[in-house]
Amino acid sequence: MSGQNNQDKVSHDPIDIENLLLLNPRIRQGAHVVPSIETKDNKRHWKRNHEKSCADCGPKKNNFDDIKHTTLSERGALREAARCLKCADAPCQKSCPTQLDVKSFITSIANKNYYGAAKAILSDNPLGLTCGMVCPTSDLCVGGCNLYGTEEGPINIGGLQQYAVEVFKQMRVPQVLDPLLLRSDLPKIFQTKIGLIGCGPATISCASFLARLGYNHLTIFEKKDYIGGLSTSEIPQFRLPYDVVSFEIDLMRDLGVKIECGKALGVKQRMTLNSLHEDGYETVFVGIGMPDPKRIEIFDGLTEKQGFYTSKDFLPQVAAASKPGMCPCKQSRQALPVLFGKVIVLGVGDTAFDCATSALRCGAKKVFIVFRKGFSNIRAVPEEMELAKEEKCEFLPFLSPKRVLVRNDGRISAMEFYRAEQTDDGEWTNDEDQLVRLKADFVISAFGSGLQDQDVIDALAPVKMNGLGVPVVDQRTMQTSVPWVFCGGDIAGVAQTTVESVNDGKTAAWSIHRYIQGTLGGVQLASEPTLPKFFTPIDAVDLSVEVCGIRFENPFGLASAPPTTSSAMMRRAFEQGWAFALTKTFSLDKDLVLNVSPRIIRGTTSGHSYGPGQGSFLNIELISEKTAAYWCQSVTELKKDFPTKIIIASIMCVYNRDDWTELAKMAEACGADALELNLSCPHGMGERGMGLACGQSASTVRDICLWVREAVKIPFFAKLTPNVTDIVDIARAAFEGKADGVTATNTVSGMMGLSPDGTAWPRVGREKRTTYGGVSGNAIRPVALRDVSAIANALPGFPILATGGIDSADVGLQFLNAGASLLQVGSAVQNQDFTLIEDYATGLKALLYLQTLDVPRWSGQSPPVFSHQKGKPVPKLKELDGKHLPHFGPYKKQLEEIVGKNKLSEAEPEVDSVDRKRVINQPQTPIPTIQEMIGKSLPKIGAYGKLDNSQQVVAIIDEDMCINCGKCYMACNDSGYQAITFDPETHLPTVTQDCTGCAMCLAVCPIIDCITVIPKSIPHRVKRGIPEYEFPNKNAASILAQ
């Protein structure tokens, strides 16, 4: 009865809401008891990882979808990049064969500058996307990651690399020559004919770098009718899709490299090194790989019809049937090899694992990976081995092939093996007393490859060959015994991975350049290699902006803060590319200061976060301890050495006309381009009658600005404090005082936290005293954005130097749109270093360029989010089967079966011509200037009363992307409108008609765009608490008026 009575009380949830809240968290009132037998069943229901007892991994036939563990979504990429420490002298970079600037490209990813990341990657590795997908990173860059020394482990560098270049690929922007390198002005020697044989990774790399250097007569000769070499023919689609290889080759072709297919190296083929030389090719690069499989005697005479394949036979057939775009025409497309029953794969390298996992997709029911040595001797990288284990391949070590058994019909029926053992002196021997027989329907040999075709060997004459039957190569220059012949990739004997082949091509490109310029052109080059970077039309975007008659190369500069503690630091910043810098605030000698220590601490606004990437800092540092004479001399020196850089002298005085006049004239006389009047330092200086003490009164600000205006002719900006009632009033006072602009804002006065013992940090001296300091960084960005936009709306056209949490180009553009003219950076450099400017510049250029392209639904550099789980596309289940299923437990198995059936029934993928021309995204409108971006958002920022409450939205959840965490459900229950249900079995949330469109669910959802908002299609009913006051929204105005 009492429960029924509660339903009449407005302070109790209605019965339907009580039912909805059944799964909402509650504090336990006691220990919870569940029998283990029930927990075992529950565990199976909620399990997301693989069952140990599972006999197989689900249907795989014909399913060539991505299976890489390293693949990332945007969410995963941003979180992983944020973990990176961006170390000094980063070991990860030293472990990369192509010397990628790992720190730089991960910095760009963390800042949502995917173009900048891709540019850094492709500058050093033209096959950066391929290598992001197939590199054995655990043995290379990841193996050197300093985060191995922490509990959370190393960074997923390969996944980050893949994500960044994939986003750039979606932009469809071409590669162009370095703008400083005009081919029309290059000497004739750059028209030297260069031939390259084989269109694999080493050759693509070599040709790309030679083309970037300016060589314009580059021809690749490829034996096959497809291009890409081993990347195309032997790495499966689920690890390396063909469109990735095609994309990288298209970038190479953008620079004019020609490819001729059907041209094989061989005497019989009438193409030899000598014949190419006679045809005018002054230098030749050989990158044909190791084309011939190694076979042992027991396989002599065995054919594919009997069930025997080498990896060189099997993988190209799989590729031709599963890689859309690889074959030049539909008619030549092959079907997948038809496998069944049990398959034995011999070998334990990466190729063997590719054969094993591909065999499952060709119909094999069970795959045995058989190898001669133990697990500790496996040559393949752990990533490959883990994939094979997950797909339930069986590993059989210590077995050495003895013979193959065949049935009467000639088909393979089994294999016999000797037990292999290692002697005390390390030798491996076969124990012929121990025999193992394995039944098998197919055998795939993956024992490696070599160069055995005598016709090809003869065509390589006069190159000297070594005892292994491959060319003798100088491993530092990739030059052969014949000065004009260079080699790279497998055939050169050093590379064992794709990335090493790429680096062979890169090394050879520089050596070929030196050979042509020196031997043929008589020009001696420096011994230190210098190769051009990767360029696109994005890099030509003009970032310059004029403010107060001063031209700035780009809108990014250093704030008056710890990064400008000394003029030597400013010098280093200019060398990296910053357009302007403010001196650390200085004063007259009578006002010199002495700092306390400690004085700069990490923020607590991002939770318990340690290391770089702090969301805020707090400091109690005063102005510069250096004299005005030091700073004036520094300004003079820097202006002489960097005439195009802009130096703004930051000055501070007490409220005294003579002091401001003297210091302003001193700064102008030394050559400063402009002044910043620090009227806002929130700690320490205010107690001396300076800083904040001068900036909280409109009349004081007006007076000081008038004094300085009378004293100097150069522009000056009043630096404002946010620690006032209304910053617009202070900005207006500066305007009335004839200031040329303002800086908004200085740090926010605050205290970062107290320890359990009651002391604060920073605490000074034995007394452990503290004071209120200045909070800076991303934590004050909302305040700074508000202040900048408010001033810009109130004083149209009045220049604003924005500062406060500008940690990326993406954020910089937000400030420009809010009305800022220039962007000052401080805390971001404290988190990193001066090289950030490269990321800021490339990021802003990309953001401006993308605004001119036809890229629907992109948000800045973020492409539209597709339905995915862990970055891998998932089919729209409702479209396939009409069901709503989560991705765990028994539902996951149902999903796999539905997808498996769909893969078996779906039509063969469409195949288009390998020689197709990709569609390049051309600008549809002129590229906007920085000036055009300033204040772009202002017309849409204003009073609450201008918002239209008749246009309501509701939340919608993509069940295929949902990870079933229930955060939306909990937030809506305890902080919202109880408008989301949560299924107790599937944990799928559903938005009800009670949704008011507040978007809190979207705010707490951990998956980007899993929850979005759409216009509300039903009448909006407002719950007023008392039924007679509820009404459709269209009548809201009339009722409220009553």
CA neighbours closer than 13 Å in the CB half-sphere of residue 731:
26
In order of 483, 579, 648, 1001, the CA distances from 637 in angstroms are 50, 16, 14, 56
Question: How big is the CA angle at 528 (ends 505 and 479), to the nearest 5 degrees?
Answer: 40
- Assign 3-class secondary structure to 546-604: EECCEEECCCEEECCCHHHCCHHHHHHHHHHCCCEEECCCECCHHHCCCCCCCCEEECC
Report whether 813 contacts 933 (CB < 8 A).
yes
Q: What is the DSSP letter of 69?
A: T
Cβ count within 10 A of residue 139: 13
**Rounded CA gap, 556 and 552, in Å?**
9
Q: Which residues contact 634 (CB under 8 A, 6 or more apart)?
A: 566, 567, 570, 583
Q: Which residues contact 756 (CB under 8 A, 6 or more apart)?
A: none
CA neighbours closer than 13 Å in the CB half-sphere of residue 982:
23
| Backbone φ and ψ of 626, nearest 5° | -85, 155
In order of 24, 54, 970, 992, 1011, the CA distances from 20 in angstroms are 8, 36, 11, 11, 20
Given the structure tokens 């976060």, which residue do they identify?
609
Token representation of residue 474: 């100088």
Nearest CA to 801 among 631, 986, 582, 585? 582
**Rounded CA gap, 167 and 288, in Å?**
31
Return contacts of 8-15, CB within 8 angstroms, 24+ apart.
Answer: 10/1025, 10/1026, 13/978
In order of 664, 721, 820, the CA distances from 672 in angstroms are 10, 23, 22
With H, G, I as helix, E, B as strand and everything else as coil, classify residue 793.
helix
Catalytic entry in 141, 145, 681, 705: 681
- Assign 3-class secondary structure to 588-626: CHHHCCCCCCCCEEECCCCCCCCCCCCCCEEECCCCCCC
Nearest CA to 703 among 668, 677, 672? 677
Provide the CA 179 distance to its chain's centre, in angstroms: 26
Q: What is the DSSP letter of 306?
A: T
Token representation of residue 603: 């923020």
> Is there a catalytic annotation at residue 998?
no
**Rounded CA gap, 290 and 309, in Å?**
17
Four-residue CA torsion sign, 874, 878, 883, 884 = positive
Active site residues: 681
